[in-house]
Structures are given as C-alpha cells and as structure tokens.
Amino acid sequence: MDHYLPLFPLNLVAFPGEDVNLHIFEERYKQLIRDCIEKDHAFGIPAYINKKIEYGTEVYVKKIVKEYEDGRMDITTKASRAFKVMSYMNPVGGKLYAGGDVFYLKDKMDGTEELRREMIKLITKLYELMNIVKRVEVDADITTFEIGHKVGLSLEQEYQLLKIEREYDRQLFLVQHLKKTIPVLQEMERTKERIRMNGHFKHFDPLDF
C-alpha cells in the first residue's frame, strides 16, 4: 500500500534510526517543516543519486534547535523507515514543496551473530590502519544501519545498502566491502613505509645462487 509524504530531496543517504541535522533556509522547505510540525506528520528524504529520485527514508522532526529572525531553522530529525518513491510531484498541489506516494520497504532483521562479529572485527582492523581512535562498540543490538556511515562507503554504496531489505544481506555487503578495502589500505601503508625508507642505508643479505 502506498503512503503520501511531503518530500525533501537531498544528496545524502539517511539510514533508519539515525539522527539527521538539517539547516532549513529555502522558503519551500520552511513551509514543509512548518506543515509537518503543525500536523505531527513525517516527511521523506529521497536520496538524489545519479540525477534520479527512487529511494529514501521517512523522517520525523525531533526538535527545532534554533530559529532565526528570517524564518530559517536548525532542526534535528529522526530517520525511520526506508521507502521506494512510487510517484513524485513537484510542487505538490497548493504547496511550494514536492510530495509523492511511497512504498515502505520490508526490513527483515535476520542478521547472524557470526557475521556481526566478523563485521566488527574488520571494522576494528580498518580503524587501526587509519589511526582512528574512536572504536565501534560491540553490543548485541548493533546493526548495519548504525555503522553504515562509519566504514568508508561511497554515497552510491550507502544508497545500495539502504535499498537492501534483509539485515543478513546488509551484513554480507559490509563484510565484502571491508575485505576489499582493508588490503588496499594495507598496501598503501607498505607504500608509505617504502617511501619513508628511500635514501636510508640498507643492509641486504647476499643472494645465494
């Protein structure tokens, strides 16, 4: 069943469950936010990727952090469900902003503990290679969406992750990404070390032919 949402296209991917901070300055989106607050209604952030609008995420306004005299706003939103855009109208009838019907993706939380632990192990390795002090905490409830922005995915890869409807498949996606990324970083570290050693006195054992 399709559902109507006001739509706020952005060149970003919002994962379900995350907080998204937005600075609202265009008149059309000031109107959209005011309407959603007054009606206690969600709006959608469809990801504008490759000049297309196809998938996005439903979000709710959590808090107006700051209001400016000219009507601009800093707001915090909470992302909820991923959706596919079924129709898109810009502007929607009688409003300045866009709107359309969306179909909510069915999210099956069927991830495995084995894959989760492998994923966390690889992320820890990634952070060590990049000298990132902050670590991803390992807990029983951590999901792929919670770490989707923290593993070096491109915007297109984040978009691909958003569209996957099973946690198990998302875990596989991230594990495969990390297994490809880590060797590249390791080779980069070896290359940097070779560059640092260039010009130093070196001791080579004689070759025994």
67 and 130 share a domain?
Answer: no
Together in a domain, 95 and 156? no
Distance between CA 127 and CA 32 in Å, rounded? 39
- pLDDT for the residue 93: 92
Are 63 and 147 members of one domain? no
Q: What is the pLDDT, as a whole number, of residue 132? A: 74
Does some domain include residue 34? yes
Q: How many domains does the chain contain in total?
A: 2
Does 98 share its domain with 144? no
Instruction: Give the residue-averaged pLDDT of 196-208.
Output: 57
Nearest Cα to Cα of residue 82 among 173, 175, 161: 161
Tokens, residue 35: 């309407």
Q: Structural domain of residue 74, as residue ranges?
A: 3-104
Tens of pLDDT, residue by residue over 124-157, are 899 888 887 666 665 657 899 999 999 999 999 9
Phi, psi values for residue 201, rounded to 5°: -70, 130
Instruction: Give the pLDDT band of residue 196 (cuts 50, 70, 90).
Output: low
Same domain for 94 and 147, yes or no, is no
In the predicted structure, residue 119 carries a pLDDT above the cut 80: yes
Averaged pLDDT score across all residues of the chain: 90
Phi, psi for residue 187 in degrees, rounded to 5: -65, -35
Looking at the predicted structure, is the pLDDT value of residue 31 above 90? yes
Q: For residue 207, what pLDDT is reported?
A: 57
The residue among 104, 128, 158 that closes a domain is 104
* The dihedral formed by the CA atoms of 19, 20, 23 and 26, expressed in degrees to the nearest 10: -130
Give the residue-averaged pLDDT of 21-25.
96
Does residue 163 lie within any of the structural domains? Answer: yes
The whole-number pLDDT of residue 167 equals 97
The answer to whether residue 135 sits within a structural domain is yes
State yes or no: pLDDT of 39 exceeds 80. Answer: yes
Burial class of residue 107 in the structure, from the number of CB atoms within 10 Å of its CB (0-12 exposed, 13-18 middle, 19+ buried): middle
Task: Indicate the pLDDT class of residue 201, thresholds 50, 70 and 90.
Answer: low
Q: Are residues 88 and 149 in the same domain?
A: no
User: Would you say residue 18 lies in a domain?
Assistant: yes
88 and 7 both lie in a single domain:
yes
Please indicate, yes or no, if residue 86 is contained in any of the structural domains.
yes
Percentage of residues in the chain with pLDDT exceeding 90? 73
Residue 95 belongs to a domain with what CATH number?
A: 2.30.130.40
pLDDT at 124: 87
- Judgement on whether residues 124 and 170 belong to the same structural domain of the protein: yes
Name the amino acid, one letter, at 177.
Answer: H
The pTM of this model reads 0.87
Of 85, 104, 123, the domain-final residue: 104
Q: Please check whether residue 208 lies inside any domain of the structure.
A: no
| Boundary-marking domain end, from 87, 104, 121 | 104
Instruction: Give yes or no: residues 120 and 99 share one domain.
Output: no
Reply yes or no on whether the pLDDT at 199 is more than 60: no
pLDDT at position 76, please? Answer: 97
